[in-house]
Amino acid sequence: MTPTPDHVARFTLDPAFTVGEVNPRLFGSFVEHLGRCVYTGVFEPGHPSADEAGLRTDVLDLVRELGVTAIRYPGGNFVSGYRWEDSVGPVEDRPRRLDLAWRSTETNRFGLSEFMAFLKKVGPEAEPMMAVNLGTRGVAEALELQEYANHPGGTALSDLRVAHGDKEPFGIRLWCLGNEMDGPWQTGHKTAEEYGRLAAETARAMRQMDPGLELVACGSSSQAMPTFAAWEAKVLEETYDLVDHISLHAYYEEKDGDRDSFLASAVDMESFIENVVATCDHIGARLKSKKKINLSFDEWNVWYQSRFEAEAAENPLDWPEAPRLLEDSYSVTDAVVFGSLLIALLRHADRVTVACLAQLVNVIAPIMTEPGGPAWRQTTFHPFAQAARHGRGEVLDVRVDSPTYRTAVHGDVPLLQATAVRDPRTGAVTVFAVNRSQDRPLPLRVALGGMDLGEIVEHTVLSDADPDARNTLDEPDRVTPHPGEGAVLAGSALSVTLEPLSWTMIRLA
């Protein structure tokens, strides 16, 4: 990694130049019936910390600390074979089913009612983002689920919910119309024409029951899909006036030892976002609509997918219950990339109004558990928790002037990835920054135009001398944010030197 000669990064902050308001849903997450996310993750009756509902209170404490908001459920690939009626009613009467998506057996011991009870215990900002099965099912089943979940009473399905013990309706406002329907791996995979028509008819019917719903249409499951952009265009031609969001999914991993390109993963994420926005607005212009479609980045993370695929090919599953799947252990390097992805989402807060970290517990997750044992924070937990707590308000328009370095995948990339969020009530500003250099500190100069900022309230850094250091069952706190040093706020400028391979948060008041 060879930086350019002028090894100083700069940007200017001015409250007159903003991107947009941060929607709290930007800090969402994802609970899928996959691996140990649910069973021995959030739900483990008999665990020493389990409450009367079987929820692990040690996990609940960490979820609250993480600060997640909208939580997507129950999938993911799982939803394309999901029979919602299997997940309600007396637990002893619920059927066991084969889950084709992850070649597992689903017991349905944890279902819709249990999920809603979990959300209530997480806290007031936690809201459901419910996915309907448009793989093996369709309009009728989506309406049945909506009536069961949301209608107050006096009908067969709403009264059934009451009989099952949930007198008050769940009030689910945000719904996903299927999952990754562009993917050949998806049960019930469809062409853009087939899915667009089905999504439109489902959306139209659901709005007949409740016009105030927010609906998410399936976009491409990756920018690398051969149908990318053409898929969005066709789906939106069918659904533009019926949906509010279109989805994006992206996962990143280090490949073939190319760490420089991995550290620049946010370049791809920002490109993905901007290309989908362009496609949405193109279709809106063609339809002569004043409406803007927003983006739901409802699956994103670092995921060593190629490793999982190789292991699955060698050892296919034989329908186990809650197997250990996708349990990646995240390093400091992973956490720095993860932080840069968070910054990318914030930098597009004007159009990305929902985002879901996939997933919440055990499965490519910031929180890990051991059955019958402890729960702990992965390295990626810390950037998310800091952004969810302090990244609220208006995103300022940060135009970075930074030294660059050469990557094999993305070309020349800035060493600095940064954003800043201002609280309009107090004027306080939080700066989030990533130094992508693996071996050199990066001096940063921030001009503070038009802002009365006189105090550094907090300066923390996530970094480590060992870029592969990680938190484990034996060393759960090996990597945590530490106090930063050397930041100076003088007059209308902030000066700081960012540690190599680091995520930094600086709060100014």
> Which of the residues are catalytic?
180, 299
Per the DSSP assignment, residues forming a β-bridge with 97 are 106
Distance CA 193, CA 399 (A): 39
Reported as half-sphere exposure (CB side, CA atoms, 13 A), residue 353 has a value of 16
Burial class (CB within 10 angstroms; exposed 0-12, middle 13-18, buried 19+) of 1: middle
3-state SS, residue 376:
strand
Q: Angle 381-390/332-347 helices, nearest 10 degrees?
A: 30
Structure tokens at 100: 């084709």
Structure tokens at 120: 């209530």
**Nearest alpha carbon to residue 216 among 364, 15, 61, 79:** 79
8 A C-beta contact, residue 435 and residue 501: yes
Q: Angle 112-122/57-66 helices, nearest 10 degrees?
A: 60
317 — alpha (psi -120 to 50), left (phi > 0) or beta? beta
How many beta carbons lie within 10 A of that of residue 475, not counting itself? 11
| Interacting residues of 184 by C-beta distance below 8 A, sequence separation 6+ | none
Distance CA 506, CA 509 (A): 10
Distance CA 167, CA 222 (A): 40
Q: How far is CA 180 from CA 183, 392, 407, 458, in A?
A: 6, 30, 30, 41
